[in-house]
């Protein structure tokens, strides 16, 4: 019972502190802008811990965060092996291939207005489809190891990146292109110096969508067959054998990998497209 009371008290206290901070005169500072969401996250974990302990929830249903943290610390070698199999081999290689293929395809079809008109609506439609369903087919084509996972990721990230890149390449207006013409710029000059930079905000938009899709694809594909390692494999077998704490540790790894991957792309975007209005200091 005391755990429940403590969790509730912590919640109220953190909420009050956050309200104070958000309305204080330091609200614009980086420290407060990081502290407020951190406090919110910590509160959620404390609430979770308090409810699990206070109500005596069985660890088979929902383990407390502290139990998960212990399991995490105790099985780092398994987690690292799974991380390598799923994220480094499956998701990242698929992401690289898919993004590169989409990028090259976008530049190629961009040369023909006819193809662009035909492919944009189809690409937009396909990007909205539940492509994850293709996982079992690709697993049966490419075998159980990471190649099939990478293939699923390639298919999943291809269309969002393609559509965004094609759209981005059309971003320049006639005035800018005419200016390049008066400089006697060739097609490649215009592409490299004007149109690709102008397309970058769109490309990064597609890349950010693709980061999440890449992890989803790599994990789902493992539900349909994998060697005896990998995050999806561990999760699906862990649920069956009631080692729920290990499953949550895997989920934590997946969450951190996803956030880090996304953060990396967002960071690169900030560095590369610093000139874009959305990144300028206001």
Closest CA to 117 of 109, 127, 125: 109
Closer Cβ to another protein, 161 or 219, answer by number: 219
Query: CA angle 20-32-212, nearest 5°?
Result: 120
Looking at 146-154, 164-172, 190-198, 213-221, which segment touches another protein (CB under 8 A)? 213-221
CA 150 from centroid of its chain's CA atoms = 15
Is residue 219 part of the contact set for another protein (CB under 8 A)? yes
Contacts with another protein in 9-68 (CB under 8 A)?
15, 18-19, 21-23, 27, 32-33, 36-37, 39-41, 60-62
CB of 158 to another protein, least distance (A): 13
**205-208: Cβ within 8 A, 24+ apart:** 205/164, 206/102, 206/160, 206/161, 206/162, 206/163, 206/164, 206/165, 207/99, 207/161, 207/265, 207/269, 208/262, 208/265, 208/266, 208/269
Nearer to another protein, 13 or 37 (CB): 37
Based on CB atoms, which residue is closest to another protein, 2 or 241? 241
Does the footprint of another protein cover residue 235 (CB under 8 A)?
Answer: yes
Provide the minimum distance between the beta carbon of 171 and another protein in the complex, in angstroms, as a whole number: 19
Contact mark string toward another protein, 98..137, x via CB under 8 A? ----------------xxxxxx-xx--x--xxx-xxxxxx
Q: Of 106, 78, 85, whose CA–CA distance to 247 is shortest?
A: 78
Contact residues toward another protein (CB under 8 A) are: 15, 18-19, 21-23, 27, 32-33, 36-37, 39-41, 60-62, 114-119, 121-122, 125, 128-130, 132-137, 139-141, 211-212, 215-216, 219-220, 223-224, 231-232, 235-236, 239, 244, 247-248, 250-251, 254-255, 258-259, 261-262
């Amino acid at each position: 019972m005391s755990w429940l009371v403590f969790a509730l008290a912590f919640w109220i206290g953190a909420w009050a502190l956050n309200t104070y901070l958000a309305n204080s005169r330091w609200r614009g500072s980086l420290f407060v802008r990081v502290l407020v969401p951190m406090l919110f996250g910590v509160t959620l974990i404390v609430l979770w811990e308090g409810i699990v302990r206070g109500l005596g929830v069985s660890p088979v249903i929902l383990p407390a965060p502290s139990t998960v943290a212990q399991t995490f610390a105790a099985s780092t070698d398994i987690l690292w092996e799974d991380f390598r199999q799923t994220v480094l081999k499956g998701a990242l290689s698929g992401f690289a291939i898919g993004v590169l293929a989409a990028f090259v395809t976008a530049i190629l079809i961009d040369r023909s207005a006819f193809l662009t008109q035909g492919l944009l609506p189809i690409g937009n439609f396909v990007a909205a489809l539940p492509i994850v369903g293709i996982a079992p087919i690709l697993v049966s084509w490419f075998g159980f190891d990471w190649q099939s996972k990478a293939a699923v990721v390639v298919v999943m990230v291809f269309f969002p990146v393609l559509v965004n890149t094609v759209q981005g390449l059309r971003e320049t207006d006639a005035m800018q292109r005419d200016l390049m013409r008066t400089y006697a710029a060739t097609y490649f000059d215009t592409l490299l110096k004007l149109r690709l930079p102008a397309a970058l905000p769109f490309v990064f938009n597609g890349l950010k969508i693709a980061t999440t899709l890449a992890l989803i694809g790599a994990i789902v594909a493992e539900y349909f067959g994998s060697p005896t390692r990998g995050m999806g494999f561990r999760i699906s077998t862990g649920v069956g054998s009631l080692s729920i704490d290990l499953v949550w540790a895997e989920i934590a790894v997946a969450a951190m990998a996803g956030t880090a991957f996304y953060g990396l792309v967002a960071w690169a975007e900030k560095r590369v497209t610093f000139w874009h209005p959305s990144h300028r200091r206001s």
